[in-house]
Amino acid sequence: FTAVDVIRTKRDAGELRKEAIDWVIDAYTRGEVADEQMSALAMAIFLNDMNAREIADWTDAMIRSGIRMDLSSVGKQCVDKHSTGGVGDKITLPLAPLVAAFGVAVPQLSGRGLGHTGGTLDKLESIPGFDVTMTEDQVITQLRDIGAVICAASSDLAPADKKLYALRDITSTVEAIPLIASSIMSKKIAEGTDALVLDVKVGSGAFMKDEKRARQLAETMVRLGADHGLRTTALLTDMNTPLGRTAGNGLEVTESVEVLAGGGPSDVVELTVALASEMLALAGMPEADPAQALRDGRAMDTWRKMVTAQGGDPDAAMPSAKETADITADRDGIVTTMDAYSVGVAAWRLGAGRTRQGEKVQAAAGVEILKTVGEPVRAGEAVFRLHTDTPERIEPARQTLNGQWSIGTNPPAPTSIVLDRIG
Ligand code: URA
Determine whether 217 is exposed, middle or buried from the number of CB atoms within 10 Å of its CB (0-12, 13-18, 19+).
buried
The tens-digit pLDDT sequence of the chain (423 residues) is 999 999 999 999 999 999 999 999 999 999 999 999 999 999 999 999 999 999 999 999 999 999 999 999 999 999 999 999 999 999 999 999 999 999 999 999 998 887 788 899 999 999 999 999 999 999 999 999 999 999 999 889 999 999 998 899 888 898 999 999 999 999 999 999 999 999 999 999 999 999 999 999 999 999 999 999 999 999 999 999 999 999 999 999 999 999 999 999 999 999 999 999 999 999 999 999 999 999 999 999 999 999 999 999 999 999 999 999 999 999 999 999 999 999 999 999 999 998 776 788 999 999 999 999 999 999 999 999 999 999 999 999 999 999 999 999 999 998 899 999 999
Q: H or E stretch including 382? A: strand 382-388
Using H for helix, E for strand and C for coil, what is the string for 128-185? CCCCCCCCHHHHHHHHHHCCEEEEECCCCCCHHHHHHHHHHHCCCCCCCHHHHHHHHH
Residue identifier of the C-alpha nearest atom 6 of ligand 1: 180
- CB neighbour list of residue 270: distance below 8 Å, 6 or more residues apart: 417, 418
Catalytic, 186? Answer: no
pLDDT of residue 414: 86
- CB neighbour list of residue 51: distance below 8 Å, 6 or more residues apart: 15
Q: What is the CATH number of domain 72-309?
A: 3.40.1030.10
Catalytic residue among 112, 123, 187, 231: 187
- CB neighbour list of residue 238: distance below 8 Å, 6 or more residues apart: 201, 202, 203, 415, 416, 417, 418, 419
Residues 390, 386: Cα–Cα separation, whole Å: 11
Helices (H), 360-411: 394-401
Contact 412, 336 (CB under 8 A): yes
Residue 293 alpha carbon to ligand 1 centre in Å: 30
pLDDT of residue 261: 98
pLDDT of residue 66: 97
- Taking only the tens place, the pLDDT of each residue in 60-87 is 999 999 999 999 999 999 999 999 999 9
- CB neighbour list of residue 189: distance below 8 Å, 6 or more residues apart: 59, 63, 68, 224, 225, 228, 230
**Residue 159, φ and ψ in degrees, nearest 5:** -60, -30
Per CATH, the homologous superfamily of domain 323-408 is Pyrimidine nucleoside phosphorylase-like, C-terminal domain (3.90.1170.30)
CA 314 centroid distance within chain: 23
Catalytic residue among 39, 110, 183, 186: 183
pLDDT of residue 114: 75
- Taking only the tens place, the pLDDT of each residue in 289-307 is 999 999 999 999 999 999 9
If one residue of 84, 121, 157, 220 were mutated to test the ligand 1 pocket, choosing by the most ligand atoms within 8 A of its CB, it would be 84
β-strand pairing of 148-152 with 106-110: parallel
pLDDT of residue 170: 83
Residues 79, 194: Cα–Cα separation, whole Å: 6
Residue 359 alpha carbon to ligand 1 centre in Å: 20
Contact 335, 372 (CB under 8 A): yes
Q: Is the pTM of this model over 0.90?
A: yes
Q: Residue 135 CB: number of other CB atoms within 10 A? A: 10
Let me know the angle formed at the C-alpha of 88 by 408 and 147, rounded to the nearest 5 degrees: 145
Nearest ligand 1 atom to the CA of 84 is 8
Catalytic, 72? Answer: no
Residues 202, 211: Cα–Cα separation, whole Å: 6
Cα separations in angstroms, 215 against 195, 212, 221, 235, 315:
20, 5, 10, 9, 41
- Cα–Cα nearest to 77, from 216, 282, 239, 215: 282
Residues 248, 252: Cα–Cα separation, whole Å: 6
pLDDT of residue 355: 77
Residue 244 alpha carbon to ligand 1 centre in Å: 22
Tell me if domain 3-48 and domain 72-309 are identical in fold. Answer: no
Residue identifier of the C-alpha nearest atom 5 of ligand 1: 180
CATH topology (fold) of 3-48:
1.20.970
Let me know the angle formed at the C-alpha of 272 by 352 and 149, rounded to the nearest 5 degrees: 70
pLDDT of residue 118: 84
- Cα–Cα nearest to 239, from 214, 264, 222, 262: 214
Q: How many residues are listed for the chain in this entry?
A: 423
For the chain, the domains span 3-48, 72-309, 323-408
pLDDT of residue 166: 85
- CB neighbour list of residue 332: distance below 8 Å, 6 or more residues apart: 376, 377, 378, 379, 407
Please report, as a single letter, which amino acid is at residue 48.
Answer: N
**Residue 304, φ and ψ in degrees, nearest 5:** -65, -40
